[in-house]
């Protein structure tokens, strides 16, 4: 039976009627028009649908919308603040870490959460943190470079350089 | 390349910002009012006769707006290859037979996905199962069940474009499962083998792999008030696609429009005209509403196209110094239930091989065989991975047997600039092959690392290096035969480029913008691009033929040059100076040597509008992929001009083999890619890195697990693409051989750095542990199996 | 996915949840992280019409020591919290390692310990979509009459692949289940039936609430090794946990080795454990050949000899690693 829920997405609250089996990904894309999270595989095995739930990465394709109702959802559309790109987004643009762009929203969000908890990650730690995000285009080389660059810039900004 | 202001520079991509913010729109992202959701009913059987199809209950279901079956398009057949010799063989929706698990039988359009799924469950199909074949070997046996009983030699859709006509006839009964054959013979083979100092023969096998771009296939179709079909499609080559769709639907070309979407990766898997695309269009027409069909990941993997299962037999004779005297190659591919690109791949296994080493006498036979497996199509390299895996593994063994260093052997046989290809007559106007081999060997520390492993010592981890080379074309005389572009100046001196390229990750929007900016003398920021729309842009060759930089880039360069010429001519009138004394840079036309005497582009354009009857300055350019050729070469004989420029790559792999588990870790992969000139080095590096990653996946861990025609791993948990953890250290070098025909000397990039990886890894494994794996993927179990057998044999 | 008649409940307390299960236990699926349940829904193999979410229940989400010195881990704790917990690492390193290697970074923040313990068995004929499975009659696990792997004997041989159970088994851990009649505590190994069809000995009205890890003896160490095609996302081809207690002179006093990914339940390598008792820690050259022979029939593998060989190798290596940790511990 369908239920009335409230979803808090990118700082906005939405009242929605959803069927229990409907995934957060379906609701974000089809009911809220937030198409940044992508349908890549449907089984949480590619990371293209990565969103943040209370700051932690989650596969929106394996999360029921009803389960996300009490949490803060952040999608890629909510990351840049007032047109200013997040340092991870900026670094991706400059480093050639974007090719077809389909994995990019998920990759950026996963990288952001890594840097939130680990401001100075070694390349091996970056690889581990992004190991659930598949990219078929880049071979990951420039993605890992971009995350290192973003980390450095964020550290410099934080220390007031 | 400091002589250039924009090209040759690693500038950030023009589409990157849209993509990092989630604003970029792909075919599955677009929503239209009243849009319906489409779904496809597929055959669960690999081979069956359709006895009956009853859609009545589905049609009555509330929320269903249209249903279609094979009856709605009776007699229609489509195919990537549609020639008199190989007539189209695939009904988009089955009429009387299904030939593989996944073959399309019916489609529905409904208000939402759940209703569409329910509608499918209400369609009753009665099947009579038929005997099936699942391997090329079985399909070739006398008495094997025929996958196709008839050929249907109707009018080829390419007859208007020069394909030889053939009178229509009744269906012609087939006698075997051979879908296509390529045969090439030149030189004196017997003599060549007779005078060889050493001869070796090997057999190699390559398992099928999936393209698996992260974006699944998707199409949105709607018919507008003028009766035109509009589509957003996850597709490559939109002008090719528009042409074939129009023919399939009985429309004129200009009644079909493909609008721009970004494409989330393709790698060859999105060029065919697919039944789901035709289905979306027809459902939209029936329903009178837009219809979107998004294939599930399983459908994308298992029922669209996949790469071939291939077997390669190669026999080579060499002189004492290792130079080739004769070569005999036989390739057999399982092309699946319909021809797909089988006829092309067996042509390409010859055509991608012949530019690498000099072969005075050659016999080549390629067979594409029908089976009841899923259909095969072009995947990044399209045959080059199999043939180069085979030949360079084989050459590595020959080198070993002769006591010659493999790099040395390769250099002795490698072709040079100026050589003419035997059957096509193509000339290597640029060729950086030897430089690439030398550079890869150097950066990979070949001499220091080669043959350093002791095969007989029971050490757990052993290391080795291996090397291989490959070649790739830069476009071919195939529809649409070339590209055109328009450069429109704006009042402020900026410009918009109109080019039909599809941006699917290869960076074409950026490189074409750079070419235009360089030629026009404006900063990159002043170029906008309109791309990927068949209505808004001129004809475009399509990156599916590796002609993005080479063909479309040339057209864009010419269009920009045309606009610049008009600017210069107007400036010449205004300044009363000869055109030859003017130069155009940084949006200003100046008199050479008199930097202060000039006019800004904006001023010139304003003057042109006022004085030249409102001429706002628009440049046009066009370029044919192979100017001298009317039509593609013969697929069955390989005779005829094929391409204007060849890219080359040499790749070296350093591996560490765990002799206990058989696992191979690639420590380093060095690529030197002869791309002529790197229009944007960052993009070229990105393409090389992506090619290498995909190639390593095919070499070590990816495999479509087909059992009796069914893909047992149709999801991303079990179809295992490389992850961040699998990325080796990569060196991505470029050789600038300056192709005279290419824009700023550029030729292909994007496909050429795949096919040297396979043998490089196989040869490195051999170097490390002394076992030769002749099948892809090189799995731990295979290595361990061979190691155990070698160990047992030596005791 | 089936959209009709599915009810969703989000009870506020464990009592409420148990009461719900009393009403509709056999027709209910528990939602911890939900990843397994949603995948099953999409494949059309869930066969439940009630979803009982545990998200609102505040308890059973942390890691704490009890008065008696046991380490109590709430079953609703996400795997990444367990992987990064110093307390878990100290008490049972194998568990921290297993939790850190399960699934992928994307799912580890939501997948729970309880969910992992209760993971359903898997088979390449079963974990497929309805349209895929339409190519043949339904298999035993999906409610049909035929096992397609094991056609002759016709019993379900779906594989158990969860990674935390073997780690818990080598530490002698227990689980607490809460049901309508109250709580009961069993050894982790007692949760499993070795029946691919119904792998859990959990009543439909019960919820796993807590994992209890007893204090570890001196000179005891543990580890978990995973062998998979890739370093993330993949289920284990083999997962082996070892818990080793050393004598003061460095010989093995007691060995416990548990395996996942090979049969329909996690299981101990009892023969190997017996061989190891009283002897020196195996050196680098030993490949656990006897393990390969002791495994019995293995299903759902493309290369059984290879898998056997790997099992021996990994078991020996796990023993060595666990012994190293044992040496380093008080």
Q: Give pLDDT tens digits for B17-73.
A: 999 999 999 999 999 999 999 999 999 999 999 999 999 999 999 999 999 999 998
Say whether C107 and A21 touch across the interface (CB within 8 A): no
Confidence of residue A21 (pLDDT cuts 50, 70, 90): very high
Q: At the topology level of CATH, where does C1-56 sit? A: 3.30.43
Say whether B720 and C3 touch across the interface (CB within 8 A): no
pLDDT confidence of residue C3? 52
Q: Which residue has the higher pLDDT, B291 or B752?
A: B291
- Reduced to 3 DSSP states, what percent helix, strand and coil does chain A have, rounded to the nearest 5? 40, 20, 40
Q: CA B285 to CA B76: how far, in whole Å?
A: 17
Q: CA B334 to CA B370: how far, in whole Å?
A: 6
pLDDT confidence of residue C328? 87
**Mean pLDDT over each residue of chain B, to the nearest integer:** 95
Look at domain C220-327 and name its CATH class.
Answer: alpha beta
Q: Is the pLDDT of residue B795 over 80?
A: no
Nearest to A110 among C51, C56, C106 (CB): C106
**Mean pLDDT over each residue of chain A, to the nearest integer:** 96
Task: Supply angle C-alpha B777, B780, B785, rounded to 5.
Answer: 105
Size of interface B-C (CB pairs under 8 A): 54
Of the residues B90, B654, B748, B751, which is catalytic?
A: B751
Domain C1-56 and domain C220-327, same fold? Reply is no
Nearest to A140 among B504, B691, B727 (CB): B727
Q: Tell me the per-residue pLDDT of B137-147, one tens digit each, with 9 for 90 and over.
A: 999 999 999 99
The contacts found for B154-162 with CB under 8 angstroms, 24 or more apart, are B154/B77, B154/B87, B154/B88, B156/B82, B156/B83, B156/B84, B156/B87, B156/B88, B157/B82, B157/B88, B157/B243, B157/B244, B157/B247, B158/B82, B158/B83, B158/B479, B161/B479, B161/B481, B161/B631, B162/B630, B162/B631
pLDDT confidence of residue B1? 43
CB B249 within 8 A of CB B311: no
Q: CA B193 to CA B473: how far, in whole Å?
A: 29
Running DSSP on this structure, what letter comes out for residue C159? B
Per the DSSP assignment, residues forming a β-bridge with B552 are none
Q: Tell me the per-residue pLDDT of C185-198, one tens digit each, with 9 for 90 and over.
A: 999 999 999 999 99
Say whether A135 and B214 touch across the interface (CB within 8 A): yes
Confidence of residue B2 (pLDDT cuts 50, 70, 90): low
Q: CA C50 to CA C30: how far, in whole Å?
A: 9
Considering the entire predicted model, what is its pTM?
Answer: 0.97
Q: Tell me the per-residue pLDDT of B713-760, one tens digit each, with 9 for 90 and over.
A: 999 999 999 999 999 999 999 999 999 999 999 998 888 899 999 999
Percent above pLDDT 90 for chain C: 93
Q: Is the pLDDT of residue B666 over 50?
A: yes
Backbone angles phi, psi at B455, to 5 degrees: -65, -25
**Ordered alpha helix ranges (H), B430-507:** 433-443, 446-449
> Before B347, cis peptide (omega within 30)?
no
Three-class SS state of C49:
coil
Confidence of residue A161 (pLDDT cuts 50, 70, 90): low
- From the list A67, B231, A38, B7, the residue with the least C-alpha distance to C55 is A67
Confidence of residue B430 (pLDDT cuts 50, 70, 90): very high
Q: Is the pLDDT of residue C204 over 50?
A: yes
Say whether A79 and B21 touch across the interface (CB within 8 A): yes
Q: Is the pLDDT of residue C298 over 70?
A: yes
**Mean pLDDT over each residue of chain C, to the nearest integer:** 95
**Which of A 81-140 lie inside 8 A of B, CB atoms?**
85, 89, 92-96, 98-105, 108, 126-128, 130-131, 133-140
Say whether A20 and C38 touch across the interface (CB within 8 A): no
| Domain limits, chain C | 1-56, 220-327
Confidence of residue C2 (pLDDT cuts 50, 70, 90): very low
Residue B751 annotated to the active site: yes
Confidence of residue B547 (pLDDT cuts 50, 70, 90): confident
Confidence of residue B155 (pLDDT cuts 50, 70, 90): confident
Q: Is the pLDDT of residue A73 over 90?
A: yes
Say whether C230 and B45 touch across the interface (CB within 8 A): no
CB B467 within 8 A of CB B446: yes
H or E element: which one contains B516?
helix B508-520
Size of interface A-B (CB pairs under 8 A): 175
Q: Which domains does chain A have, with CATH numbers?
A: 3-78 (3.10.20.30), 87-158 (1.10.150.120)
Q: Tell me the per-residue pLDDT of C132-163, one tens digit each, with 9 for 90 and over.
A: 999 999 999 999 999 999 989 899 999 999 99
**Residues on chain C touching B460 (C-beta within 8 angstroms):** 284
Q: Which domains does chain B have, with CATH numbers?
A: 27-132+134-158+214-265+270-303 (3.90.1170.50), 309-476+631-794 (3.30.365.10), 482-624 (3.30.365.10)
**Residues on chain B touching A43 (C-beta within 8 angstroms):** 297, 715-717
Q: Tell me the per-residue pLDDT of C8-43, one tens digit each, with 9 for 90 and over.
A: 999 999 999 999 999 998 999 999 998 999 999 999
Q: Is the pLDDT of residue B549 over 90?
A: no
Task: Supply angle C-alpha A74, B717, B692, rounded to 5.
Answer: 90
Burial group, residue A11, by CB count within 10 angstroms (0-12, 13-18, 19+): exposed
Confidence of residue C1 (pLDDT cuts 50, 70, 90): very low
Q: CA C255 to CA C257: how far, in whole Å?
A: 6
CB C116 within 8 A of CB C173: no
Average pLDDT over residues B454-471: 95
| Terminal alpha carbon distance of chain C | 53
Nearest to C105 among A23, A42, A129 (CB): A129
**Chain A partners (3+ C-beta pairs within 8 A):** B, C
Q: What is the Cα B581 distance to its own chain's centre?
A: 45
Say whether A138 and B723 touch across the interface (CB within 8 A): no
Q: Identify the residue among C104, C112, C122 best suited for mutation to test binding to A, counting A beta carbons within 10 A and taking the highest.
A: C104
């Amino acid at each position: 039976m369908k239920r009335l829920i409230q979803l808090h997405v990118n700082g906005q609250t939405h009242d929605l009627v959803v069927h229990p089996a409907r995934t957060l990904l379906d609701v974000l894309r089809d009911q809220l028009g937030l198409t940044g999270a992508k349908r890549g595989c449907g089984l949480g095995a590619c990371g293209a649908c990565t969103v943040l739930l209370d700051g932690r990465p989650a596969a929106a394709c394996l999360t029921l919308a009803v389960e996300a109702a009490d949490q803060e959802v952040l999608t890629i559309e909510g990351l840049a603040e007032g047109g200013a790109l997040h340092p991870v987004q900026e670094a991706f643009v400059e480093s050639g870490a974007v090719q077809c762009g389909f994995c990019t929203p998920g990759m950026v969000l996963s990288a952001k959460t890594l840097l939130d908890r680990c401001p100075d990650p070694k390349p091996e730690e970056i690889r581990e943190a992004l190991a659930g995000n598949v990219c078929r285009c880049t071979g990951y080389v420039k993605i890992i470079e971009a995350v290192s660059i973003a980390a450095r810039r964020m550290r410099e900004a934080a220390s007031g350089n | 390349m400091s002589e250039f202001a924009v090209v040759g520079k690693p500038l950030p991509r023009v589409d990157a910002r849209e993509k990092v913010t989630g604003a970029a729109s792909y075919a599955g992202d677009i929503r239209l009012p009243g849009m319906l959701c489409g779904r496809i009913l597929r055959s669960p059987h690999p081979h069956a006769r359709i006895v009956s199809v009853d859609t009545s209950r589905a049609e009555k279901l509330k929320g269903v707006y249209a249903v279609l079956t094979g009856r709605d398009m009776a007699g229609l057949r489509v195919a990537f290859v549609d020639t008199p010799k190989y007539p189209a063989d695939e009904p988009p929706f089955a009429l009387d037979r299904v030939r593989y698990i996944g073959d399309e039988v019916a489609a529905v359009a409904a208000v939402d996905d759940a209703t569409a799924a329910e509608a499918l469950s209400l369609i009753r199909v009665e099947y009579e199962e038929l005997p099936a074949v699942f391997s090329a070997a079985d399909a070739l046996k006398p008495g094997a069940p025929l996958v196709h009983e008839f050929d249907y030699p109707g009018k080829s859709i390419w007859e208007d474009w020069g394909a030889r006509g053939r009178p229509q006839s009744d269906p012609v009964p087939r006698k075997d499962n051979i879908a296509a054959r390529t045969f090439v013979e030149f030189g004196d083979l017997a003599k060549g083998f007779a005078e060889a100092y050493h001869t070796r023969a090997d057999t190699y096998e390559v398992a099928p792999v999936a393209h698996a771009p992260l974006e699944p296939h998707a199409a949105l179709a709607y018919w507008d008030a003028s009766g035109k079909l509009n589509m957003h499609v996850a597709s490559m080559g939109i002008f090719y696609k528009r042409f074939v769709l129009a023919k399939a639907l009985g429309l004129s070309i200009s009644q079909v429009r493909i609008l721009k979407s970004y494409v989330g990766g393709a790698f060859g898997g999105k060029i065919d005209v697919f039944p789901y695309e035709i289905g979306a269009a027809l459902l939209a027409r029936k329903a009178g509403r837009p219809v979107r069909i998004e294939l599930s990941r399983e459908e994308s993997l298992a029922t669209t196209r996949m790469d071939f299962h291939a077997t390669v037999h190669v026999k080579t004779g060499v002189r004492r110094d290792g130079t080739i005297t004769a070569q005999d190659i036989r390739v057999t591919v399982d092309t699946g239930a319909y021809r797909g690109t089988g006829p092309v791949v067996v042509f390409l296994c010859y055509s991608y091989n012949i530019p690498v080493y000099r072969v005075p006498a050659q016999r080549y036979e390629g067979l594409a065989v029908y089976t009841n497996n899923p259909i095969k199509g072009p995947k990044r390299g399209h045959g080059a991975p199999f043939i180069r895996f085979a030949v360079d593994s084989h050459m590595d063994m020959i080198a070993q047997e002769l006591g010659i260093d493999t790099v040395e052997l390769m250099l002795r046989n490698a072709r040079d600039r100026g050589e003419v290809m035997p059957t096509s007559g193509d000339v290597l106007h640029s060729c950086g092959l030897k430089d690439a081999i030398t550079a890869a060997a150097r950066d990979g520390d070949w001499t220091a690392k080669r043959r350093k492993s002791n095969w007989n010592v029971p050490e757990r981890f052993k290391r080795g290096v291996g090397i291989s080379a490959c070649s790739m074309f830069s476009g071919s005389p195939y529809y649409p035969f070339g590209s055109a572009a328009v450069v429109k100046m704006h009042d402020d001196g900026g410009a918009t480029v109109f080019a039909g390229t599809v941006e699917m990750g290869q960076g074409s929007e950026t490189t074409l913008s750079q070419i235009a900016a360089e030629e026009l003398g404006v900063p990159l920021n002043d170029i906008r691009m309109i791309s990927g729309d068949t209505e808004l842009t001129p004809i475009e060759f399509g990156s599916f033929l590796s002609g993005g930089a080479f063909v479309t880039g040339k057209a864009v360069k010419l269009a920009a040059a045309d606009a610049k010429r008009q600017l210069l001519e107007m400036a010449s009138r205004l300044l009363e100076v000869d055109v030859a004394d003017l130069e155009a840079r940084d949006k200003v036309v100046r008199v050479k040597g008199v930097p202060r005497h000039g006019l800004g582009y904006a001023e010139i354009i304003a003057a042109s509008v006022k004085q030249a009857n409102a001429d706002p300055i628009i440049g046009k350019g066009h370029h044919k992929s192979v100017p001298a050729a009317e039509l593609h070469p013969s697929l069955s004989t390989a005779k005829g001009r094929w391409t204007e420029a060849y890219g080359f790559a040499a790749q070296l792999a350093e591996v560490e083999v765990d002799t206990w588990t058989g696992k191979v870790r690639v420590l380093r992969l060095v690529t030197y890619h002869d791309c002529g000139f790197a229009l944007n080095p960052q993009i070229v590096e990105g393409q090389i890195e992506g090619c290498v990653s995909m190639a390593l996946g095919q070499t070590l861990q990816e495999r479509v697990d087909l059992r009796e025609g069914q893909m047992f791993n149709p999801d991303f948990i079990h179809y295992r693409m490389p992850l961040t953890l699998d990325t080796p250290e990569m060196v991505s070098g470029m050789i600038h051989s300056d192709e005279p025909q290419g824009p700023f000397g550029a030729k292909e990039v994007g496909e050429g750095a795949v096919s040297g990886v396979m043998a490089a890894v196989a040869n490195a494994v051999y170097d490390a542990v002394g076992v030769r794996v002749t099948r892809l993927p090189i799995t731990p179990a295979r290595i361990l199996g061979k190691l155990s057998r070698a160990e047992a044999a030596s005791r | 996915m089936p959209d009709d008649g599915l009810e969703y409940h989000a009870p506020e307390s464990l009592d409420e949840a148990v009461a719900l299960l009393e009403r509709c236990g056999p027709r209910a699926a528990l939602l911890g992280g939900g990843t397994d349940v949603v995948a099953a829904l999409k494949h059309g193999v869930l066969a439940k019409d009630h979803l009982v979410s545990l998200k609102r229940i505040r308890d059973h989400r942390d890691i704490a020591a009890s008065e008696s010195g046991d380490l109590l881990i709430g079953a609703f704790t996400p795997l990444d919290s367990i992987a990064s917990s110093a307390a878990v690492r100290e008490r049972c390193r194998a568990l921290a390692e297993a939790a850190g290697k399960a699934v992928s970074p994307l799912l580890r923040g939501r997948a729970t310990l309880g969910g992992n313990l209760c993971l359903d068995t898997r088979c390449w004929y079963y974990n497929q979509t309805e349209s895929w499975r339409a190519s043949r009659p339904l298999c035993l696990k999906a409610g049909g009459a035929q096992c397609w792997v094991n056609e002759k004997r016709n019993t379900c041989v779906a594989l158990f692949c969860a990674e935390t159970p073997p780690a818990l088994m080598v530490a002698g851990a227990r689980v607490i289940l809460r049901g309508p009649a109250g709580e009961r505590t069993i050894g982790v190994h007692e949760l499993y039936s070795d029946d691919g069809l119904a792998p859990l000995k959990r009543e439909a009205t019960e919820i796993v609430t807590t994992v209890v890890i007893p204090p570890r003896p001196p000179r005891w160490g543990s580890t978990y090794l995973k062998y998979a095609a890739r370093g993330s996302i993949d289920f284990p081809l083999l997962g082996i946990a070892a818990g080793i207690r050393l004598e003061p002179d460095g010989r093995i006093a007691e060995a416990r080795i548990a395996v996942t990914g090979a049969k329909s339940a996690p299981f101990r390598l009892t023969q190997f454990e017996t061989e190891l008792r009283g002897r020196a820690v195996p050196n680098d050259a030993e490949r656990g050949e006897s393990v390969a022979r002791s495994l019995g029939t293995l299903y759902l593998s493309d290369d059984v000899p290879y898998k056997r060989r790997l099992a021996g190798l990994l078991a020996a290596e796990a023993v060595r690693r666990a012994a190293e940790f044992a040496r380093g511990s008080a």
